[in-house]
Amino acid sequence: MVFTPDSTLPIAGLDLTGFRAYLSYQFTSGYRYTPQRQTGVNDQGRTQYEPILDQYLQGQGTPWNIVDLKLSYKLPLGFKGEKGLVLSLEVRNLMDAKNAQIINPVTGRAYEYGDPVPLSWRDPRFNGPQERGVDPRNPARYLQPRQILYGLQFRF
C-alpha cells in the first residue's frame, strides 16, 4: 500500500506535499521438512528420533509474516522539480516476527531451549564429551529481526 497525498489534501492543518508512505505485508508458507518420531532412549538418557521416511517433506514449518514500512519526506529547498533533500525512514520486519528458517524436524518449528532434537543435532541440555553435531541455538534459525534504517538523500 502506498500513500502519496495530493497537494490539496491537508491533514490536521498540515501540508503533506512531499510525504510518502509505503506499507507492505508478505505471507510465505513455512519450509517443508521430514517429520521424526521417537524410537527410544540412548545410554546418556537422551531421546532418540528417526525420520518418518514415508512422510518425506510432508511436514510444514510455521509460516512467515513480514511487515515493512517506509516513510519519506521531500524538502524542495527552493528548487523546482525533483531537486532537493529527502529524509527517509525504513523499518523492516516491523512487528519483529520470529520467522523460522531452520526447522527442528521433531517439533516442526525453530529450536527453543528445552525442545527435543534429533541425534544428529547437539542437545544443549546434555553437555557430555560425546555430544557432536549442529548446535540448534544457531542465530540463523530465524530471519533477520526488526531493522531500522534512516537516510538523507540530496537530489541535484
Nearest to 128 by CA among 44, 43, 42: 44
Q: In terms of Cα–Cα distance, which of 123, 149, 147, 97 is closest to 42? A: 123
Indicate whether this model's pTM tops 0.85. no
Which residue, among 51, 56, 60, 53, has the nearest Cα to 100 in the 3D structure? 60
pLDDT value for 79 = 60
Average pLDDT per consecutive 10 residues, the chain (156 residues; last block may be shorter): 80 80 95 93 86 93 95 80 86 96 93 90 80 83 95 87
Q: All 3 cell numbers of residue 24?
A: 507492505
How is residue 139 written as a grid cell? 542465530
pLDDT value, residue 154: 87
Copy the grid coordinates of residue 61: 514449518
pLDDT at 96: 95
Give the Cα separation of 113 and 12 in Å (integer): 49
